[in-house]
Structure 1
Amino acid sequence: MKKSLFLGMALAGAISFTAASNAEAAASQTYRVKSGDSLSKIAHVNKVTVSQLKQWNNLNTDVIHAGKTLYVKKPAAQATASSSKKHIVRSGETLSAISKKYAVSIDKIKEANHLKSAVIKTGQTLIIPKAAPVKPASTAKKPASAKAASPAKETYYIVKPGNTLSAIAKLFNTPVQEIKRLNGLKSDKLLVGQKLKMTEGVLPVLGEGVFPLEPGSYQSYPDSWGNSRSYGGSRTHEGIDIMAKKGTPIYSVTDGVIERYGWNELGGWRLTIKTKENFRIYYAHLDQYAAGMMQGGTVKKGQYLGTVGDSGYGKTGTKGKFAPHLHIGVYNQSFQAINPYPFLIFWERK
C-alpha cells in the first residue's frame, strides 16, 4: 500500500514537473533544444506548426541539435514582415553593401535573419526590416558664408589575429591589389593591429552616383588612369577600363544632359553626359546605343544608355581592335580629366 502511494506521488510529481516545463516553454519566446527533442514535439508543446518553427529559425531541414536555441513564437523582427522586404544575395555582395542599399543597419539585418556574423552566401534570402522614417531635410537656404561640404571620409580596418589580405579583401568586396595600392604594400604580409586604408574619399559632388554596370556582369578592374597609350600618338589614359562581355548593359551614373553623342576615333561610339554640377561623365567603346539617345537629350541616374562593346581606334564603325570593355572618364568643371577610380570604388560599394 505504501509502495503504491509512493509511486503515485512520484508519478504525479513528474507529471506536474513536465507540465510546468511545457507551460514555461510555451510562455517563452525561445526554447533551448534538449536531447531527444524533435521539431514536431516542440511545435506540439508550443501550439505552433513545424513549418512556422522552420520559418522563424531559418531551418532548411527538420534536423535540430541539443543546445540550439529556437524561436517558438514569431520573432519581433519578423512580426513586421508585412512592412519588410526580401533580398536575394548576389555574387560579391556584402552585408555592409546591402545595409547601405536599404538604409538599414547591419545589426538590424542580422537580428531579423538570426545571423551570428556578417558572413552571407550568394543566393541566400535575407529579410530586410523596414527602415526608420527619414526626417525631411530642411528647405531653408544655406547662408552664403557656409562652408562647402567636405569630401566623404576614408574607411579603415584594423588587422586582427588570423586575418589575411585575401580574407579582408573578401570582407570589403574589393580586390587584394586595391588594398595594396591604397596602403603601399609590396607583399601580402600583415601585422596584428595594422591600420589599413580600405576606401578613398570621394568628392561629394558625385557621391550620389551609381555604378554603371550591374553586379556580376564585369571583371575586377585595376587603376589604369594615367597609363601610357600609343594609338593616336603618345598620350596618357584618361579613364578606367572595366572589362565585360559585349552586349552588357551600361547605366547612367547620374542625371544629366547628353553633351556629346556619336562616333569618335579614339572612343568609338561614345556618350558624354554633363551633370547639373558641370562635371562630365564619359562612356566610350559602346557597341549599341539605347533607344532615344541623342545630343541634347536628358538622362536619369540609373537609366539604360547602351551596351559594352569594342568600337573605336579607326574610322566610323571600326570594331574588334581590343577586348570589349567600358571606358569611363570623369572631367571636372574645367574639363580637366580626374581619376575615376575612387569614384567607381565608392559607387560600387554603395
Structure 2
Amino acid sequence: MKSKPFWSRVLICCLLLSAAESETHTSLAATQAGISDHSLAPSAAKVNPNLNAERKELFEKTSILSDIPWFYLAAVDQYEKTMNIVKKRPVHKGITSIYFPESDWAGLLNPDQKDTNPNSISFFHGFGRDGSGDGIAERNNDLDILASMAFLMSRNGTKEANLLINLWNYYQNSRSVERIKQFATIYATLDTLDLGEHAFPLPVSADYSYRSTWGDSRGWGGHRSHEGTDLFARYGVPVRSTCYGIVEVKGWNPYGGWRIGIRDTNNVYHYYAHLSGFQKGIKENDIVKPGQTIGWVGSSGYGKPGTSGKFPPHLHFGLYRDNGLAEWSFDPYPSLRKWEREDRNKKKK
C-alpha cells in the first residue's frame, strides 16, 4: 500500500506541534537577537528551559513524516541560525531559524513575491509549502518552514548522500554543506540540542597567567597581528576543549606548531596552538565535550614539523566565526574570562 504524500501526513501531527510553536515564539526571538561574538553559548535555556527540548521534539516529529534524520533537520536549522546572526537577516518569531528569501519561497519568476498560495508557488518552482494544513504557505510559520526544507532536502531521496547533494544544490556552497554535516554529526552523537556549556582551556587549579594580547604585533613569518590570547603555563599542563564540538583539524602548522581546531554548533572555530602533544587517540571528526583533555601546553611552532623551544611554553587560543564564505577572528579574551569565572565557581561548589 502506498504511503500518503508528506504534505498529507503533516496534518496528522500539526495540531500537536502548534502548541509548542505558540508557547516559544517570544523566547526564541529574544535568544537569536542576543547572541554576539562574546556570547557564544545559546542563551535560550535562560529564557525558556524547555526550548531545546521542544525544538528537538519538533525535528523528531518532522523526521517521522519526512524520513529525514532529526539531527539533519536540526543541523540545517542551526546553520541557518548562525547565518542569520552574521548576515543580520530578519528573524521570524518562532522556534525554527531557517530563512528563505522571498524569491526562493515564492519562486524567482513569481510576480507576487509575497505569495502564500501553495499552488502558484509550486507553479513558479518556489520552495514554499503548506506544512500546517491551513492551505497557506507562510515564511514565518514553523510547520510551513520545516515542510519546505524537508521537501527541498528529500527531492532525490533521504539517504545521507542524497541529503548532502540536495543541500549543495540549494546552497551551491560546499562550505555550507560541510558545516551542516558537522553539526549533524555532533547532534547524532550527543543526542541533544543542549550544548551551550563551555570550559576554560586550562585547569583553573593549574599555575597559569594571561592577559589580552589581541592585535599585538607578531614578526615571525612577516608582520602580522596576533589573532588570539596567549595563556602561559608550564610544559605538560592539560589543554582542554572549551566546547561541545567536532575536531576539524589536527596536526602541524608552521606558525602554530602542533595544533588542533574544534568547530562548535555556533559555527565558531576554537583554535589551540603550540601544543607539546595530543591526547592519545584523538582524531579528526571526533566529538569532544567541555573540559575534555585534547593535548598539553608546549612551545612548538615557528618552523618545520618538530620545531620547538623558540618561545616560552604557552597555549595560543583563538576564536573564528564563519559567515558561510570565509572566517574571521575575534577577541577570545572576554570569553576566556567568562569561562574561567564559571569554572572557578563550579570548583567552589
TM-score (norm 1): 0.44
Higher RCO (CA < 8 A, seq sep 6+): 2
* Greater Rg over alpha carbons, structure: 1
**Which of the two has greater helix per residue?**
2
